[in-house]
Structure 1
Amino acid sequence: MLGSGGFADVFLYEQNLPRRQVAVKVMLAEVVTSQVKQMFQAEANLMAQLSTHPSILTVYQASVSADGRPYLVMELCSAAIGQRYRMEPLAVPEVLSIGVRIASAVETAHRAGVLHRDIKPSNILTTAYGHPVLSDFGIAATLGEADVTEAIGLSIPWSAPEVLLDETSGTIASEVWALGATLYSMLAGRSPFELPGRENTSSELIQRITKGRPQPIGREDVPARLEQVLLRAMSKKPSNRQRSVLEFIRELQAVETELGLAQTPIEVAMDDWAIATADDPEDRTRIKGVVSIDPSGARRRRRQSVSQTLTRAPTSTVVRESVGSQPSGPGPARRRWSRPLVLAVSVCAVLVAALVVTATLVLVKVSSNSEIPTVRDLSGRVSNSTIVFTWSDPGLQPDDTYQVAVGDQPPSIQHATEFRVDAKEGETVCVTVTVNRDGKTGAPSGQKCVERAGSS
């Protein structure tokens, strides 16, 4: 037995093929009803869809046992985080890293239209390689159904006031609240409204959450800015919280930068990742959202493929003009075109089309890059054991962000014009900064490399 909850037990098993240790979550026989079965099946489907994310627990299999109890076969992970913070609060850098990774998982679920609705420390597990993962989507609901879905198995200490007051069963804002409360708990060693030495019954906690404010964390090593981020996330009014989990992540990254820590990368899949991996690696000429201008000056957007433009459209047009039906009625004598001449005209048309498309590509590239500013004055300096990179604002709009890439690592997203990287003596760190606007990136800055010299 690895653990037990209100609806299921979790056991340690060894799978035969392929041979490995797994965790098997089996529904309790006394709670097996048609409604709970549907909930369990929904969890299996949700976990399967989302568990490709590096910070969401992986599900290997789902089925029904011989006695009629549904079960899930999952990646074996440790529940140490949910137990350790009670005995010894976690270090600030670890909490920030866990926060960014788990919040990335929640943001990914939101983009798939799913609310977790039970974010808390005990639902954050650790893989064998020390990576935090979010588990237990057992009471998850789609964003559209959240307001009409009954909340089952509510975790009071980490539930937002509006959820406890039964104003909603879950929203993006309530997920932001739960994330803030979870990180607060890891830093304070207790849930936000739990008072040591006082009554902490369910009714007492609900009263404090809906009417009071969290007590200060009470740690000198917790920066004031981090506490402000968490208090904002736990604002009573949902409108006063971060507008999205992504905004919450960026504020955590800003705290990492303030502390001189390397930013934990945001782990959110790009919208077109599947298309990109499915395409022929040699085919890198697909145009998306080409802007074309007609003679009247009106602009319109269309989607097309370069290969279609070069092969299908020109060829079909030439064939219609050369070997199509002859015009009726009086006129000059009909002229027959030989096959070689048809082919020659086809080739010419293809070449002309290629030139037109090439010109269009150049036009699109120049116009799109000119709209997004480029960082041109990236500089770096060594400060103790940290390399500090700075640059001037090239003219960002309010929703623009910087993508800072360190070597081959995934880029970090931020609003600040400063980026810090810890470096060992003799280590050289290279950074590139690119502006991101509406999911599109402009031209990258020149790469800046700085070496932290060794002591003489």
Structure 2
Amino acid sequence: MTRRLPSTPPNLPGFSFIRVLGSGGFADVFLYEQNMPRRLVAVKVLLSEVVDDEVRQMFQAEANLMAQLSSHPSILTVYQASVAADGRPYLVMEYCSSTLAQRYRAVQLPLSEVLSTGVRIASAVETAHRQGVLHRDIKPSNILTTAYGHPVLADFGIAATLGQAAASDAVGLSVPWSAPEVLLDEVAGTVASEVWSLGATVYSLIAGRSPFEIIGGDNGTVALVGRIEKAKVPPTGRPDVPRSLEALLARAMSKRPADRQAGALEFIRDLQAVEEELALPQTQLEVAMDDWALATAVDPDERTRIGAGTTVGSSRSRRRRARSAARPRTVDGNSQGSGAERGRAAPPSTGRLIGGVAVAAAVFVGLVVAGLVTLARDAGGIPVVTDVRARTDGAAIEFAWEDPGLRAGDAYIVTVDGAASPPQRAAAYSLSVDEPGTVCVSVTVWRDGKSGTPSVERCTDVDEVPG
């Protein structure tokens, strides 16, 4: 099979062509110098022979997606989009001189760099998921490196909106980093399949090869697909990789989607736990917080960190311990002061007065902030879930609610014990617990990149867990 020659670079006013950067099935990428402001840029130009109404719409969708997401520090920045004089649409993007694909096969990447890159890229994926977007082509060659060495995720060319990806969609596949259910045409992409691709990508950066690639063996498409569908995830082969990291990667690439991390956020927490275990600087989570979450947060660093001694894969237990340590909560949602706080109280006569004034002031400010946020959200017309119900069957809990009026593109975000799940369309959420305790859930409607007012938190007790 002969490789096609790049197309002729278009004449773009305000830009000077320098050289070809790469070619793909639908587009070429060229290096230009922008005249004002003066800088190097990468310009992605569609091929004239593939431009029709459908492809033009896909390209416009990619431009819109990249514009919405490119403010994220780990997503490639798009500067502008337009149509050249010869009719070919193009994107002007940040120029990155290298990709991780050019390094991970040539040299062994430090484990600290791989873990940090994994957290940053998974943060980009989590941000895209919260915007209702699936990337669908996560792999090392789509991780570029900026001039300052920061990894960024690129190429949302086959991205799809959450809930709209169907098995019949025609998409390009990067087989070594595609989940088995995608290769079997069961789905075109889901949050679970993105977790698989994240795991496969981090594995590749560690091992210097894709997960099911056999050095010196048959690595053709048919052989790779067969191993991805049936074989166990092999060890990375690096002696500096702890068992916890091998386990979390194997979990991310489980054959059954339900056995993987629940989303990119849980995958991030697991990587951070390994950083903590190895006494490495913990990479910050890069996911934007809602206004209401920022208003109630105490320490910004604590929102993105997990404590020492946390075990990988026990996210529900981590959330319960964190919540209990901060402030015990009863089933009806009321808070109770801790014994330590009571022990530090002032003498009764002055302490009650000062405490009462402080509480009153805090309640007043809280009500004002909550009222303003609620008014702002209600003004946006985002519906509110009002009737979360819980049903317990042994260790299994199902929370359900009535549809408050979702529109196409809307989604629910379920928050379990303070941790948000990936967006979903179903008006129900099921989970199983591994220890007795209280589980609290609230449901928020996501619309057009914004979260509405959360439902009243619904808590339920699990008294016994079958052994």
State if a TM-score over 0.5 links the two structures: yes
- 38, 45, 48: which one aligns with 2:67: 48
**Partner residue, 1:75:** 94
Q: Tell me if 1:145 matches 2:164.
A: yes
Task: Report the Cα offset of residue 151 of structure 1.
Answer: 3.9
Map 1:345-424 onto structure 2 (within 5 A). 361-363=361-363, 399=417
- TM, length-normalised to structure 2: 0.60
Q: Tell me which amino acid in the other structure corresponds to 1:2.
A: L
1:24 corresponding residue in structure 2: 43
Residue 112 of structure 1 corresponds to 131
1:184 aligns with 2:217: no
Superimposed CA distance per residue, residues 112-139 of structure 1 (whole angstroms, 9 cap, x where no aligned partner)? 0000000000000011111000000000
Secondary structure, in 3 states, of the residue corresponding to 2:104? Answer: helix
Shift of 1:197: 0.9
Q: CA deviation at 1:273?
A: 9.0
Q: Is the 8 A contact 1:181 1:230 kept in 2?
A: yes
Higher Rg: 1
Cα deviation for residue 198 of structure 1 reads 1.0
1:412 paired residue number:
none
Identity fraction in percent: 69
1:62-109 C-alpha deviation (Å, 9 max, x unpaired): 011111111100000123311111112311100000000000000000
SS in 1 for 2:166: helix
Deviation at 1:365, TM superposition (A): 7.4
Task: Indicate the SS of the match to 1:30.
Answer: helix
Aligned to 2:321: none
Letter aligned with residue 9 of structure 1: D
Alpha carbons of structure 1 residues 359 and 45: separation in structure 2 relative to 1, 3 Å:
same
Match of 2:236 in 1: 217
Which of 184, 196, 204 is the matching residue for 2:223?
A: 204
Q: Which residue, out of 226, 230, 237, partners 2:249?
A: 230
2:108: which partner in 1?
A: 89
CA distance in 2, matches of 1:226, 1:264: 16
Which TM-score applies when normalising by structure 1?
0.61
Residue of 266, 273, 291 corresponding to 1:272: 291
Structure 2 counterpart of 1:146, one-letter code: A
What's 2:53 paired with? 34
**Which whole-Å CA distance do the structure 2 matches of 1:17 and 1:125 have between them?**
24
Q: Distance in 1 between matches of 2:244 and 2:365?
A: 40
Shift of the alpha carbon at 1:216? 1.4
Uncovered stretches (5+) of structure 1, i.e. residues with no partner: 277-298, 301-356, 368-396, 402-436, 440-456
Checking the alignment, whether the CA contact within 8 Å between 1:96 and 1:252 is kept in structure 2 is: yes
Which runs of no fewer than 5 residues in structure 2 stay unpaired?
1-19, 296-331, 334-356, 368-414, 420-440, 445-467
Describe the superposition over 1:364-403 as per-residue Cα deviations: whole angstroms up to 9, x where unpaired: 6799xxxxxxxxxxxxxxxxxxxxxxxxxxxxx98458xx
Give the CA deviation at 1:214: 2.4
Q: In structure 2, give the amino acid aligned to 1:73.
A: V
Change (3 A) 1:243 1:274: closer
Any residues of structure 2 matched to 1:309-324 within 5 Å, and which?
A: none
Check the 8 A contact 1:139/1:151 in 2, yes or no: no
Maintained 8 Å contact 1:79/1:122: no
Where does 1:290-301 land on structure 2 (aligned, <5 Å)?
none
Using the TM superposition, name which of 65-74 and 357-366 deviates more: 357-366
The match for 1:122 among 104, 125, 141 is: 141
Instruction: Give 1:393's aligned residue.
Output: none
Q: Counterparts of 1:161 and 1:146 in 2: how far apart (Å)?
A: 16
Instruction: Report how many residues are paired.
Output: 298
Aligned residue in 1 for 2:189: 170
